[in-house]
Structure 1
Amino acid sequence: MLLDECTKGGVTIRLSETIRDVRFSDRFTVETDTTSIEAQSLVLATGGLSIPKLGATGLAHRLARQFDVPLVAPAPGLVPLQANIDDLKWMPALSGVSLPVRVQSGKTAFEEAMLFTHKGLSGPAILQISSFWKPGQSIRIDLLPDKDAFQTLRNARTARSRAHAVAILSEQMPRRLAEELGPRLLGEKAAAEWPDKLLRAAAETLKNWQFAPSGTEGYAKAEVTTGGVDTKALSSRTMASTTMPQLYFVGEAVDVTGWLGGYNFQWAWASGHAAGTALSE
C-alpha cells in the first residue's frame, strides 16, 4: 500500500546510497555517493541513534547542528539498565526471572513486568522508566505492588509458623527470586522466630528496593532515542524550522518520546503527515 501511494505521488525511492553532504543557498543540494539532488525543501525523517545495526545514524542531529537548529542532548530511551558491580554479584543468577513490579524515578512511576537479565534489568517496567532515569540516580522498585509486605509477612508467620523464608516468599514471587532474597532478608530460622523488627526491615526492602544502575545498555538495545531537535525550534503545525522554513524534522529526530505501545510510531506518522500536508499546500 505504501509503495502504491508513493507511485501515485511520483516519489523516487533510492536505496543503498550514503549521503555525503547537504548544502543550502537558495535551494538544498544533497550529495550522495552516486548522485547530486536539488530541492526547494528538505524533510529529515532519518530517525535517531537507536539500533545502529539497522542503519541508524546521527544524520538528523548533525544537520540540525549544521543549520543552527537547537538540539536537546540525545540519549538511549526505552532501554535495559545495567546493574552496578555490587548487584552483579547476585543478579545474573536470576537471568530470565520475571515478575510484576512498580518502578519509580522521581515523580514518574510504572506498574508492569520486570525481567532480570545477565547484565541487569529489563522488561516493560524498566524500559518505560529508563527514559526518565538520569545517571547517578537510583530507581525505586516495589517487588510486591498493591500488597502490604509487612502485614503479608506477619500473616505468614502466624499461618505457617514452621515454614522458612524461601517457602513463604515463593508464594509472593518467582521461586528463584525467593531463594535469593529469603535467607538474606529473613535468615534461616522458621517463621515463628521472626521478630517484627526483622519483618519491618524485610518489608522495606521488598517495597522500596533502591536499584542504582551503572548505566544503560546503550543505543544498541534502545528502542528509541530521547532528545533530538528541540520542539521549541519547530512549527507545531508544519514541523518546519522556525529559522529555516524550508527545513523540516519529523519522527524520532525530534525531542518527542512516547511510552511503549505504539506511541512512537504514532508520533512518526503524525509528524510526517503534518510536514507532508504543509509541503502540499
Structure 2
Amino acid sequence: PAPALVGFTVQKEQFFFKELSGASTPVHIKIGTNHCEGSLLFTHKGISGPAVLNASLYWKKGGIIIDFLPHFTWGHIQDSKKYISSLLPLPKRVSKAFLIQLRIEDKPYHLLSSNEVEKLHTLKSYYLAPAGTFGYTKAEVTKGGINTSEVDNQTMMSKKESGLYFLGEVLDVTGQLGGYNFQWAFSSAHSCFKSIKREYT
C-alpha cells in the first residue's frame, strides 16, 4: 500500500512554490492517460488541493503535467497593453513568481521575445516531477492492497482462506474525493456482515 489522496512534495526546481503557501488556483493535471481537474493549493511543503489529491491516486513515480491556465487562451491577452502579470487568470503573486522563475520580464504580451513566449506557454503544460508525497500522516486513504480477484465480491470472503474476510482499504480499491471511499467501506462491510450472519444463523 501507498499514501493516496495526498499532496506532493516538490524538488529543487519548484522550491519557489513554498513561498506561495496559501495561494490557490484552478488547474488541469495529466498523469499518463488520467486527467484531474479542480483547485491546486500551494503549501509550505509543496502542492495540495482537490486536483492534486485526486492525481495522487495515479502517481507512481515520474512526472505530471499541470495546466495552470485550464480555461484560458493566449488570444485573450495578445493585443492588450497591460502587463502579463495582471492578465493571467492566476493570483497576482503566483503570476509574478512564475515570471521570475521562468526569467520573463513583466510587460505586455506583444513585447515578449519569441523565447519568452515559448517559456510563458509552458504554463499550459508545466512539467513537474514530484519528490514524493506528504506521507501516510497526511493521506486521506491508501492505495494498493489485496487484489479484488482474490475475494468473493458478494461476501468479501477470501477465495484462498475460508472464513477470512477483507473490506475497505485493505483491498486494492481507491476512489477520488467525494465520499466514494467511505461508501466503499460501508458497502463492503455490509456485504461482509450479511455473509457472516447467513453463515452463523
Per the normalisation by structure 1, the TM-score is: 0.67
Give the corresponding residue for 2:17.
91
CA distance in 1 between partners of 2:59 and 2:26 (Å): 19
CA distance in 2 between partners of 1:120 and 1:213 (Å): 9
Gaps of 5+ in 2: none
Shift of 1:134: 1.0
Q: Which of residues 137, 142, 156 in structure 2 aligns to 1:220?
A: 137
Q: Tell me the SS of whatever aligns to 1:219.
A: coil
Residues 85 and 106 in structure 2, CA contact (< 8 A), matched pair in contact too: no
Shift of 1:185: 5.3
Q: Work out which of the two has the higher radius of gyration on C-alpha atoms and give 1 or 2.
A: 1
CA 1:188 to 1:98, structure 2 compared with 1: closer, same or farther past 3 Å?
closer
Q: Which of residues 116, 119, 123 in structure 2 aligns to 1:198?
A: 116
Q: Percent identity of the aligned residues?
A: 39
Aligned length: 197
Is residue 151 from structure 1 mapped to residue 151 from structure 2 by the alignment? no
CA distance in 1 between partners of 2:43 and 2:151 (Å): 39
Q: Which of residues 75, 87, 90 in structure 2 aligns to 1:168?
A: 87
CA distance in 2 between partners of 1:180 and 1:238 (Å): 54
Q: Deviations over 1:125-146 (max 9, x none)?
A: 00000010012x1110001112
> What one-letter code is carried by the residue in structure 1 that aligns with 2:69?
L
> What one-letter code is carried by the residue in structure 2 that aligns with 1:214?
A
Give the corresponding residue for 1:59.
none
> What one-letter code is carried by the residue in structure 2 that aligns with 1:114?
L
Give the corresponding residue for 1:70.
none
Q: Tell me the SS of whatever aligns to 2:165.
A: strand
Q: Deviations over 1:168-226 (max 9, x none)?
A: 33xx11011011123435314444422455324312x1100001100001101010010
CA distance in 1 between partners of 2:41 and 2:187 (Å): 32
> What one-letter code is carried by the residue in structure 2 that aligns with 1:166?
S
4+ long deviations beyond 6 Å: none
CA distance in 1 between partners of 2:108 and 2:69 (Å): 22
Q: 1:56-75 counterparts in 2 under 5 A?
A: 74-75=1-2
> What one-letter code is carried by the residue in structure 2 that aligns with 1:101?
V
> What one-letter code is carried by the residue in structure 2 that aligns with 1:129?
A
CA distance in 1 between partners of 2:108 and 2:37 (Å): 32
Gaps of 5+ in 1: 1-73
Q: Which of residues 44, 49, 67 in structure 2 aligns to 1:123?
A: 49
Shift of 1:279: 1.3
Decide which moves more: 109-118 or 191-200. Answer: 191-200
Q: Tell me the SS of whatever aligns to 2:12.
A: coil
Residues 165 and 186 in structure 1, CA contact (< 8 A), matched pair in contact too: no
CA distance in 1 between partners of 2:80 and 2:135 (Å): 47
Give the corresponding residue for 2:66.
141
Give the corresponding residue for 1:187.
105
CA distance in 1 between partners of 2:161 and 2:110 (Å): 73
> What one-letter code is carried by the residue in structure 2 that aligns with 1:78?
L
Question: Aligned-pair RMSD on alpha carbons?
Answer: 1.6
CA distance in 2 between partners of 1:261 and 1:211 (Å): 26
Residues 153 and 199 in structure 1, CA contact (< 8 A), matched pair in contact too: no
Q: Tell me the SS of whatever aligns to 2:97.
A: helix
Q: Tell me the SS of whatever aligns to 2:18.
A: helix
Q: Tell me the SS of whatever aligns to 1:247.
A: coil
Residues 146 and 171 in structure 2, CA contact (< 8 A), matched pair in contact too: yes
CA distance in 2 between partners of 1:178 and 1:267 (Å): 40
Q: Deviations over 1:104-148 (max 9, x none)?
A: 10000111000001111000000000010012x111000111222
Greater share of strand: 1
